[in-house]
Structure formats: C-alpha cells, structure tokens
Amino acid sequence: MAKPAPPQPVPSVEPPSVEPVIELNIGLQKLCFLIVKAREFDAKVEPSDLDEGSNPSDDGMRAVLEDYADDPTLAELKDAIDGLDDDEVVDVIALVWLGRGDFSADEWAEAQALARERHTARSADYLIGIPNLGDCLEEGAAQLGYSCEEFEIDRL
C-alpha cells in the first residue's frame, strides 16, 4: 500500500494591490486630511431645540455634532480647500466626481478637464455642499489606487 503524498504547502494568496497609475496634483497626505475633515463635517446634524434646558453633561456632548453657522469644523474644511492651489482643487473636484460615479478611472483626463473648466472662486462652497464629500473623495482616490490607510492611524 502506497503512502499518501505529504500535503503541499498552500501558497499564500494576497489580494491584488492597485498601484496608483495616475499622479495627482494634490499630495496624498493633504487629500487624506481633506477626507478626514469632510467626514467630521458630514457627521454634523441640525441643531436640536435650544430651549430644552438640558444639562450638557447629560447630553453626552451631542452639541459638538450640531451644525452652526460659526462651526469651527466647517471653517477648518473651508480654509483647507481655499488653501489649495488651482491644480489641487481641480483634482479634488474630479476625485469627487469619480467617487460618486460621474466618471470612471478610465475617464480621469475628461473629469480633470471638466473640473478645470468649472473651477471658480466658489469651488470650496460647491465641494462643502456635496453630501458625503469625504466618502466620495476616498472612493475616487481608491479607484485611482490611492489609500489613506497609513495616515488614518495618526488621524492627521
């Protein structure tokens, strides 16, 4: 009777990594900072009834998540976008469009061209008005092979 063959080692299977093939005009750390700030802003909700007379310690600091006109999170996000140069803003707009499905990664040049055409001094307001801005940016970056994973540990 023949002995069964020894088990063969199972080769390790790693998921295919998507290497960025398109170089962005905006640095990855700067982009990831925008994603984090956009997510913080997206978490905001309409202010609750101000006449409730509740105790802040009982509210669990919920007021931090309420959206006010003088919100420092909004100011920080707007300042970060306003601080970008034109090429960086064009990339951010194009990444949002890519992330929400308006364009595919194969259409990146077209997305950039349209973003360049539509970019104005009010681009920050346009971007801030997009629901789930952080998610759209992250998805767009992922489609081009970029990830904020290494930056999320330090929370920028």
Which pLDDT score is estimated for 104?
A: 97
Indicate the pLDDT class of residue 18, thresholds 50, 70 and 90. Answer: low
Question: How far apart, in whole angstroms, are the C-alpha atoms of residue 64 and residue 145?
Answer: 34
Q: What is the mean pLDDT of residues 88-93?
A: 99
Count up the domains in the chain and report the number.
1
Tokens of 40: 């913080």
- For 126, the domain range is 28-47+60-152
Contact 37/148 with Cβ under 8 angstroms? no
136 within some domain:
yes
10 within some domain:
no
Least confident interval from 61-65, 121-125, 148-152: 61-65
Least confident interval from 17-26, 60-69, 115-124: 60-69
76 within some domain:
yes
140 within some domain:
yes
Task: Supply the pTM of this predicted model.
Answer: 0.72
**Which helix (H) or strand (E) is 111 found in, with range?**
helix 108-118
144 within some domain:
yes
4 within some domain:
no
Phi, psi of 24 (to 5 degrees): -90, 155
Question: Is the pLDDT confidence value at 79 over 50?
Answer: yes
DSSP assignment letter at 107:
G
Question: How far apart, in whole angstroms, are the C-alpha atoms of residue 125 and residue 114?
Answer: 18
DSSP assignment letter at 121:
T
134: helix, strand or coil: helix
Which pLDDT score is estimated for 86?
A: 98
3 within some domain:
no
125 within some domain:
yes
